[in-house]
Structure 1
């Protein structure tokens, strides 16, 4: 009886008191943006043209509202306003990206823009004056068009060009920036872009380009990491990693667990195993499946290009932490006749004989591509911990998009709350070394194919106003409160809010109940 009581009390304690569990000392909160999505000033000064500039200008018919990012949030001019927004939230850090073409107008390091350098110096110094840590992403999809004309991420020389670009940025800003992301979301850069051909550079080539891109991204990242390690770390003591877009895969039924694991290796392991595993190289099961499928399709060699022993050594261990961009999950089953043509994680992986499915019970908020499944965040952290050890895990993006531009975004509040709940479970129950959480995004911005119709911002941006006025949403107030208290409390919708006195009394009662349960558990543990 005592054992049953102890277990029941422990479970009750975990459930009732989770909202009082604090984020550990040193845990940091921040928000993220990317250069192309917020800066505007696309042709100001000597800035060069990026693939995103070219794409949105040449193909407005592919954008929901036929817009472009030539002004966007006008952050190039309104960087002081952005810093104030970050400060008002009480955030520890601000993650933003440098635009390759703003710093190197031709894409090559022989020409450096003084105005571009001045802009990022102002932003970095302004953040530091407010005691906000700048985190720089070197590449967030805005490749110089000149380099794309030379083959872009399918040209192996891109790794050297990226290394040279990284060298410039490290040299210019490394004395003040202590945390870096090399490349953002290669899964989307390579798999989505080349499998669908719907984003810049608008090339559809799933047979070859996807996997050339995968390999070259990993080598480019590794070269930048090795460069920093060799040339700058002893002076600046910073940390670097690549930011992987991770999708958690649950089996459709228990008998599909093998298929789910294969999907994890394909989408997550393909970009993580070469860097974080002890042996390096591609996941063996993916190498095998790709070889078999390539042969079946008549290719003389695998479409997944092999690493040389030197390349395996170069890429393996090129990390200081694991950056996780998590938004959504999928269910997995074996592919059925008719599924063969499907590509990318939204529908399936023909190479593996798998089909991916969105669970209709997961809320989507208006964007069906990214339904919410908070438990997937804890699951992927646990999987990564099991595969690669208890690394320094850092959640570099998590966010909720909808098509409602209002300020009372309680669906977004609930999304953040539920995912932060899973972060606490990962830390306290799974003992994972999770050190930070980044909300995507600080403010509404140019959301690629959705233009300005899809909103992710903690701050609403009025894109009809020349001043691009930013206004905090309910989610901004929720994040600010969480950051200030360093604990998670259940959000309350406006229409259900009680009086201040009732809230105070309820909170006191809950806290007393939690204390009573805690004491009961301790007593039972000691004496029974």
Structure 2
């Protein structure tokens, strides 16, 4: 049964990307990031050996890109500010006036075209020299981040609609300390716990600094959140799911939104001697400086079961000690990315925020479908006819609409991403954009999904077969 799904007035239609994934190096002077350093050390880790040197060349093409945002229906867009560009002395030293000029021009251009700048301060791009000082394990790096954040508030506060301290802070912890997909690829849970605590503290200290400025904008955080589903109602499966939920979801969500740490997580870290070091005053700062707005990144659910195999007690302590992934029969997959497609998960996530986090003002800050070899779907004019992406967007947004109808305070939807951009290690293997990018020429071409997105934004909704909802 088809029905027009209309979204609330002033709904935020847009997309997101990050500085390291889109800007390119530019000519402002920029410190080396961990990604640039890692590429020099191990280019074989990066798909087709493509670095972040050029990416989408947004630094030089931002005016053209803002017009493309407008043509694809954006009334908002989330960018990040490069810490390494702002402080080319490795994240410390003197702020770079050329970087300030670039970002002010970019955000002014956005505002003049009716596109609200949503600005994220940290998206995986640690300046390498700060990583050498310990990265997020170091209190010195926390202090440097707060200086960077405060500088950004002062230089761009008049242009920014909403601020965000971090994007997916869980990512660097998993990648750098447990799973080896971020530099420096350490396997040490306790050091990861220390880095996670300092990230949470940095978030709170940045919010504390922001509140002193008296802006009308809000500040929050963007978290990658996957609802955790146990294989069955067997108590062992449920226990496994609860531990996974504490480790992967509540670990950042609770302290960054509520100001407290989940009891189950603290008990587990104490039992296994994995607690980070901290000062009592840190807990007060975290308690008193929580997110005012929450970005929800949703791509896939997390399905788990109780462990059926033993643990090597001489091996490193890891979350997998407590669970195994459950490969649910019949699940739909994005085979290119290896992720399950489960639209109802976005609804369950929204309800969790409504029911357990004070129904904080929130928006879908990332959701999207990466597909390899999209040239297969080009028509004779060179346009990618990506009906699969249109269906993906509609199917997820239908559940967002349902959540809003049931009282969830979801204010917008940002797709990942705007123009096909460089991805961490995967580089350009999978494409996510509303606009396709020719790597050889940097030519941008709006995909069929970009045309759909423009019409959806213009109509503030779309026609949908609601019988598909459960």
TM-score (norm 1): 0.82
1:373 equivalent in structure 2: 342
Q: Using the TM superposition, give the Cα deviation of residue 48 of structure 1 relative to its aligned residue in structure 2, in angstroms.
A: 1.3
Contact 1:409 1:474 in 2 (8 A): yes
Q: Is the 8 A contact 2:372 2:431 kept in 1?
A: yes
Q: What does residue 220 of structure 2 align with?
A: 241
User: Are 2:159 and 1:160 equivalent residues in the alignment?
Assistant: no
* Corresponding residue number in structure 1 for 2:320: 350
Greater CA radius of gyration, 1 or 2?
1
CA contact (8 A) 1:358 1:371 kept: no
Match status 1:204 vs 2:197: no
Query: 1:501: which partner in 2?
Result: none
Q: 1:408 aligns with which of 385, 388, 402?
A: 385
Distance 2:211 2:40 in 1: 39
Distance 2:445 2:81 in 1: 25
Relative to structure 1, the CA distance from residue 382 to residue 185 in structure 2 (aligned partners, 3 Å threshold; closer, same or farther) is same
Distance 1:431 1:244 in 2: 21
- Considering only aligned residues, what root-mean-square deviation do their CA atoms show, in Å? 2.1
Residue in structure 2 matched with residue 521 of structure 1 by the alignment: none
| Cross-structure match for 1:321 | 293
Shift of 1:281: 3.1
Name the CA distance, whole Å, in 2 between partners of 1:375 and 1:209: 35
Residue 471 (structure 1) shift: 0.8
Aligned 8 A contact 1:330 1:359 in 2: no
Q: Residue 304 of structure 1: CA displacement? A: 2.8
SS of equivalent residue, structure 1 residue 49 = coil
**Using a 3 Å threshold, how does the CA distance of structure 1 residues 22 and 159 change in structure 2: closer, same or farther?**
same
* Equivalent residue number for residue 229 of structure 2: 250
How many equivalent pairs are there?
A: 453
Deviation at 1:360, TM superposition (A): 4.9
Q: Which deviates further from its counterpart, 101-110 or 481-490?
A: 101-110
Deviation at 1:325, TM superposition (A): 0.9
Aligned residues of 1:281 and 1:307 also touching (Cα < 8 A): no
Superposed CA deviations along residues 104-124 of structure 1, whole A, max 9, x for unmatched, are: 101345312222111111100
2:25 to 16, 20, 41: 41
TM-aligned CA distance change 1:65 to 1:433, over 3 Å: same
Q: CA deviation at 1:357?
A: 2.7
In 2: Cα distance, 1:174 partner to 1:107 partner: 24
State the distance in 2 between where 1:360 and 1:489 align: 31
Partners of 1:130 and 1:122 in 2: CA distance: 12
Q: Partner of 1:64 in structure 2?
A: 47
CA contact (8 A) 2:87 2:94 kept: yes
CA–CA separation in structure 2 for the residues paired with 1:217 and 1:422: 32
- Deviation string 1:266-301 (CA, Å, 9 cap, x unpaired) is 211000111323xx4321011112222x2xxxxxxx
Q: Are 1:290 and 2:269 counterparts?
A: yes
Do the aligned residues in 1 keep the contact of 2:22 with 2:58 (CA within 8 Å)?
A: yes
State the alpha-carbon separation in 1 of the partners of residues 245 and 13 from structure 2. 27
Task: Tell me the SS of whatever aligns to 2:425.
Answer: helix
Say yes or no: does 1:464 pair with 2:448: no
Deviation digits for residues 156-202 of structure 1 (CA, Å, limit 9, x no counterpart): 22221110000111111001112011111011111232112232x22
Deviations 1:406-450 (A, max 9, x none): 31222211111111011011100x211111111000011111111
2:254 matched residue in structure 1: 273
In the other structure, the counterpart of 1:489 is 463
The separation in 2 between residues aligned to 1:45 and 1:391, in whole angstroms, is 38
Q: Is structure 2 residue 398 aligned with structure 1 residue 421?
A: yes
Q: State the Cα distance separating 1:362 from its structure 2 match.
A: 3.1
TM-score of the two chains, using structure 2 as the length reference: 0.92
C-alpha spacing 1:306/1:150, structure 2 compared with 1 (3 Å) = closer
Q: How far apart are residue 208 of structure 1 and its match?
A: 2.2
Structure 2 residue matching 1:182: 3-state secondary structure: strand
How do residues 125-274 of structure 1 correspond to structure 2 at under 5 angstroms?
Answer: 125-199=108-182, 201-230=183-212, 232=213, 234=214, 236-255=215-234, 256-274=237-255
The answer to whether the 8 Å contact 1:31/1:442 transfers is yes
- Tell me what 1:5 maps to: none
Measure, in 2, the Cα distance between the counterparts of 1:340 and 1:28. 49
CA shift, 1:474, in A, is: 1.7
Alignment of 1:433 with 2:409, yes or no, is yes
1:489 aligned counterpart, secondary structure: strand
Determine if contact 1:327/1:398 at 8 Å carries over to the other structure: yes
| Partner Cα distance (1:425, 1:396) in 2 | 17
- 2:23 and 2:266 mapped to 1: Cα distance? 40
Matched, 1:311 2:282: yes
For residues 296 and 47 of structure 2, the distance between their equivalents in structure 1, rounded to whole angstroms, comes to: 28
Contact residue 337 and residue 430 of structure 2 kept, 8 A? no
Counterparts in 2 of 1:359 and 1:56: CA distance versus 1, 3 Å? farther
Q: Secondary structure at the match of 2:101?
A: helix
| Structure 1 CA distance for aligned equivalents of residues 335 and 64 of structure 2 | 29
CA 38–339 in structure 1, closer or farther in 2 if over 3 Å, else same: farther
1:371 CA drift (Å): 2.0
Distance (Å, rounded) in 2 between the aligned partners of 1:361 and 1:204: 35
The 1:306–1:48 alpha-carbon spacing in structure 2 relative to 1, beyond 3 Å, is: closer
The aligned counterpart of 1:23 is 7
